[in-house]
Structure 1
Amino acid sequence: MSTLGRGRQPGGTHIVENQPDWRVDIDEYDLNHPLRDAVAAFGAGWADAQLHEVGTLVGERSFQRDAQLAHQHPPVAHTFDRWGFRLDEVEYDESYHRIIAAAVAHGAHTAAWADPKPGAAVARAATFMLFAQVEPGHACPISMTHSAVASLRDSPWIADDWLPRLYSRSYDRHLLPADQKPSALVGMAMTEKQGGSDVRANTTTAVHVSGHSYQLTGHKWFCSAPMSDGFLVLAQSHRASTQEGLSCLFVPRVLPHGDRNVFRVQRLKDKVGNRSNASAEIEFDGTVGVLVGEPGRGVRTIIEMVQRTRLDCVLGTAAGMRQSVAEALWHARGRRAFGRMLVEQPAMTAVLADLALEAEAAMLTGMRLAQAFEADASDQDVALRRLATPVSKYWVCKRGPQHAYEAMECLGGNGYIESFPLGRRYREQPVMAIWEGSGNVIALDVLRALARDPDSADAVRAELQTTRGAHPLLDAHTAGTLTLLREMSLAEPDGAQAQARRLTEALALALQASTMVRYAPRIDAEAFIGARLGQSRGWQYGVLPPGTDAAAIIARH
């Protein structure tokens, strides 16, 4: 990957003069002016120095090389050893271990839980995005560990032993008893072949043994990060002859006495993207699990965890958008075509500016949500996040794949080459839209939130009222969205479901535009509103309102 000697190679046909340098050895946080402004605006300015440290780390040539290697050498399952004894281990490339160790060391997983001071959730969100911008696969166990705290902390029989391990800044890849490994990461195993998102159709059983302990039998179709130290699992629990219902259980990989729990790795999924991170099919057979929360209340137990993993889907998508914009801008500023630099070509300038606006709106949405998850969040923010999280997860994550593709196109043929990072990003973005509820599931969750929690709708209305009168297009869109919201509350269930995506999209755009008005420069906010809400809006990137100063927008990015 060395750039030494470029343009001085022997042989005239190999002299390279019209290609940008490698985009390495930079401070990704310093170059990301919108993120720096958001960190300050949302109350985490005290984290600026540590975010510069993270930005410099992930911008290093060696870190970016590790990101590439982790995807070129995906995990490998070792079900048995050479003598036929079960191992059920997953081997990762050394590059992956270096990346995840760095993310843990900088608190990308649980820093906001371990030290819940004002702005901690925002600082953690920014840290998470900086790491996920360069290597997204490791973000899965990082996110699950962060989110699992919300479910485990109210079960002291687990929390007292495990939360200090989850808060640790050390990383150890080995499966060891707790007294030999003071740190831990957490994965999930929820869905089954016959259920998918309909977890109540799960058939895995958990039979009560004693105290909070159960024995599990069954099969999980998707288990994320199977080399984690513990897993949150849903199963149909039974006590004596009584069926308790769907319960949440915590399954440790290593039992307290040092023996490994029964956790059979059947095979790893051959995924389209997210290849540095393993996803597995697993089998339980007399596996020990510990009850989390109340028996038969499994969905309620994991709901706060799910809200946080959905937040991280938004943050992860926004991080991917930032990578796409940064790579596209770097290329356009370093390549000449038709007598001018690409970045100076008006058509390209418009596309780059539009991609930058999308990334900024996604990032600000994620940071506003992170603020609503602060330990000292107001009652209104708690209500807001219950509705705004699924709304934002639906829209931002659906925008990710098309955004990555458009950025690939900015690089031309180079964008379609694996030695550049945007092909990897293009394959990565869909996982955020599918994981933790694909489009229809999320849209239906929006309807459920509105039906079960009227305060959440009131909180969204109050949020949108903060920018009333700021822009006529936003006022018109907000009024239409709130009218649709009222109509949907009176509609028959089937009719409401048929329009659930329409409502969710309208709410998401209203929240994004309002957030841009409040926290982005005026030129960015007005261009975003005109491009997304105006009558002349286009279906592809690069269709901006006439008169938009696209060059000024991309200069900030």
Structure 2
Amino acid sequence: MTDIEPDLKQLGDRVVTDIFAMGENVEDPNNYPRLQQYDAWCRRVDEITVAQGWKDLNDVAAEEGLVSIAYERHHGEYSRIYQFAKGYLYSPSAALYSCPLSMTDGAARVMEVYGSKDMKQKYYPRLISRDPKVFWTSGQWMTERPGGSDVSRTETLAELVDAKENKWKISGFKWFSSATTADMTMLLARTIDPDTGLVQQGSRGLSLFVAEMRKPDGQLNGVRVHRLKDKYGTKGLPTAELELNGMEAHMVGQPGRGVATIASILNITRIYSAVGTLCSLRRCLAIAKDFALKRQVGNRTLDKTPLHITTLARLELIFRASAQISFYAVQLLGRTECLPENDPQRQQDMEVLRLLTPIAKAYVCRICVDAISETMEALGGQGYMEEIGIGKNLRNSQVNTIWEGTTNVLALDVLRVLQKSKGAALKTFAEVMDKKIQVALTSSPMVFTDAAQRIRSSLKDIIVFVNEHQRSATVEIHMREVTFALGRVTAATLLMEQAAWALTNSVAGAEQDVAALNQWCQNSQFSKPLVAVGLDTILQEAKMVFGPDAKL
């Protein structure tokens, strides 16, 4: 794996130079997407113009393998970690080009698993190509006017044209289509029975389709763009309301299995949301930390001010915890894609990943967006200035709490996993977490005993609560808190695993890893009452934020 670090380093150099410039070009209000619905002869054209930087970011994504790395699998189950590490570096500079990449990644996975032979030959190679001239991006159209996450209200209809060729014509209205300039899209539609003419109702009547945005002659494929969305953030990303009128498409997978099939996309795009918010926090926290080293208040800089250090330390903890959760989900994703289907480890990983994905997306996005806001405040008035970049990251990150399910929608998804498995998913999750705790205790019992007791106690409380109220309205009322509690426990366990590994291998910074674990487990998130904090604790926090040479 000696090729990975140099590759990450060269991309790291690019994200502060040419890629950053591309993103700035996209974020320039003069370059925001524009819609021209008619040409000079009043012919409907529906052309969306995007910034040159948007096109350049597409080429970079292809060349850097930001999708392809995961499917080339040169590094086996670790290919996903490598891929997301590159995306983590790319995203804060790339003006949300990670959005079409996330949907393209999801579409590639659907093609790989469910695509027909023709689809695998036509679409899959384009979705995973490193050649910008070959590479295609994909959209994902689910949201409609009657409901967002409630896909059972989908009104879009699919009429069979040719059963032998699997050709369908789709008509309807998609209310929210991000990355509208993508080359193809995956979309849900309700099929019409060719024999009876009846429309299949409910979420089980939905099927998944793939369609190209344009016909071979360059004309839009039965698509009319009614308007571009005026959004709070992600302004360089073209998002539109679309009317479909006879859009030519092909069904993917089995009829009526659209929701289950598109879940492969959601599992991936939700992880993208978590990592995307995480890396925006990393960028903003880096700005806040650098500012603290230079901003003079009285006769000292902010990095010598205990209260400011404590504030940044809390943000550092949120970052570390979120990074552990997000990349654990990435690790599990990579393993489930690469391990043999009959491997017991794969079965366990799939069970944990199914529960962890909505937890990670809900919890990480929520706490990281709040933390990004705090980094803005850490710079005072200067943090509020557009030139600094924190405002842009805050606006663009806020959407991750909404895309692919709001916090409440995700909490209910966690509840569905718990109820459908009749408690088995939570039991498996607890066993996996406890095994990690036990390994850490075996390596350094004196170091980790207190944290282990706190984590186990919190996990036990969650299990007892869920088991006692699983079939009542009480558990739904508190499901948001349960989801966050599971997120905190996951973070604590993974922070312990990291600290134990660092101590065992004498890694530089192991002391800060232990301090991060203890701070995470001893703060109010684990129900510890307010206690006085001494200067020795502040010094530990300073070292965690600014490195081992930090001084008060």
**TM-score normalized by the length of structure 2:** 0.86
CA distance in 2, matches of 1:214, 1:475: 58
- Aligned partner of 2:62: which letter? V
Amino acid at match of 2:425: S
The letter for the 1-side match of 2:156 is T
Residue 535 to residue 229, structure 1, CA distance change in 2 (3 Å): same
Give the CA deviation at 1:354.
1.6
Residue 372 in structure 1 maps to residue 332 in structure 2? yes
**Aligned-residue CA RMSD (Å):** 2.3
> Which residue number corresponds to residue 98 of structure 1?
56
Unmatched segments (≥5 aa) in structure 2: 340-344, 442-447, 500-512
Aligned pair in 2 of structure 1 residues 194, 185: CA closer, same or farther (>3 Å)?
same
Q: Distance in 2 between matches of 1:536 and 1:455?
A: 30
Given that residues 447 and 500 in structure 1 are in contact (C-alpha distance below 8 angstroms), is that contact kept between their aligned partners in structure 2?
Answer: yes
Report the CA distance between 1:462 and its aligned residue: 2.2
1:152-551, aligned counterparts within 5 Å?
Answer: 152-153=111-112, 154-156=114-116, 157-172=118-133, 182-211=134-163, 212-240=166-194, 241=196, 242-244=198-200, 245-256=205-216, 259-374=219-334, 375-377=337-339, 378-379=345-346, 380-453=348-421, 454-465=423-434, 466-468=436-438, 470-491=448-469, 492-520=471-499, 521-531=513-523, 533-536=525-528, 546=537, 549-551=540-542
Alignment-mate amino acid for residue 497 of structure 2: R
Count of residues in correspondence between the two structures: 501
In the other structure, the counterpart of 1:30 is: none
1:183, distance to aligned residue in structure 2 (A): 2.0
For residues 556 and 294 of structure 1, do their structure 2 counterparts lie closer, same or farther at Cα, with a shift above 3 Å needed?
farther
Change (3 A) 1:399 1:414: same
Q: What is the CA distance between 1:243 and its match in structure 2?
A: 3.5
Residue type of the alignment partner of 1:283: E
Q: SS in structure 1 opposite 2:226?
A: strand
- Counterpart of 1:549 in structure 2: which amino acid? Q
CA–CA distance in structure 2, aligned partners of residues 49 and 224 of structure 1: 33
Deviations along 1:334-358, one digit per CA (max 9) or x if unpaired, are 2222111222211111112221121
**CA deviations over 1:98-154 (Å, ceiling 9, x no partner):** 223212211122320133532100000111111112234111001110111222222
Higher helix share: 2
In the other structure, the counterpart of 1:20 is none
Query: In the alignment, is the contact (CA less than 8 A) between 1:78 and 1:90 conserved in 2?
Result: yes
Could you tell me how far apart the structure 2 residues matched to 1:320 and 1:543 are? 31
Q: CA deviation at 1:190?
A: 0.6
Following TM superposition, by how much is the alpha carbon of 1:523 offset from its aligned partner in structure 2, in angstroms?
Answer: 1.9
8 Å contact kept, 2:455–2:493: no
Amino acid in structure 1 at the alignment position of 2:22: D
Give, in angstroms, the shift of residue 324 of structure 1.
1.2
Structure 1 residues 110 and 167 mapped into 2: Cα distance closer, same or farther (>3 Å)?
same
Aligned pair in 2 of structure 1 residues 162, 556: CA closer, same or farther (>3 Å)? farther
Equivalent residue for 1:126, pick from 85, 88, 98: 85
Please say if residues 67 and 96 of structure 1, whose CA atoms lie closer than 8 Å, have aligned partners that are also in contact. yes
- Structure 2 counterpart of 1:516, one-letter code: L
CA distance in 2, matches of 1:183, 1:68: 23
Structure 1 segments unaligned to the other structure (5+ residues) = 1-43, 173-181
Q: Do 1:335 and 1:342's aligned partners in 2 also have CA atoms closer than 8 Å? A: yes
CA contact (8 A) 2:454 2:521 kept: no
Preserved CA contact (<8 Å) 1:530 1:545: no
2:509 maps to: none
Instruction: Indicate if the aligned counterparts of 1:477 and 1:533 stay in contact, CA closer than 8 A.
Output: no
The 2-side partners of 1:387 and 1:227 are apart by 33
For 2:130 and 2:524, the matched residues in 1 are separated by 42
SS in 2 for 1:287: strand
Provide the residue aligned with 1:88 in structure 2.
Answer: 46
Q: Which of the numbers 54, 58, 70 marks the counterpart of 1:112?
A: 70
How far did residue 48 of structure 1 move?
1.1
Give the Cα–Cα distance (whole angstroms) in 2 for the partners of residues 416 and 100 of structure 1: 30
Q: What one-letter code is carried by the residue in structure 1 that aligns with 2:27?
A: H
1:187–1:230 CA contact under 8 A, matched in 2 = yes
Aligned residue type for 2:86:
T
TM-score, normalised to structure 1, is 0.85
Fraction of identical pairs, as percent = 27
User: Cα distance, 1:472 vs. partner?
Assistant: 2.8
> How has the CA–CA distance of structure 1 residues 258 and 277 changed in structure 2, closer, same or farther, with 3 Å as cutoff?
closer
Secondary structure of 2:192's partner?
Answer: strand
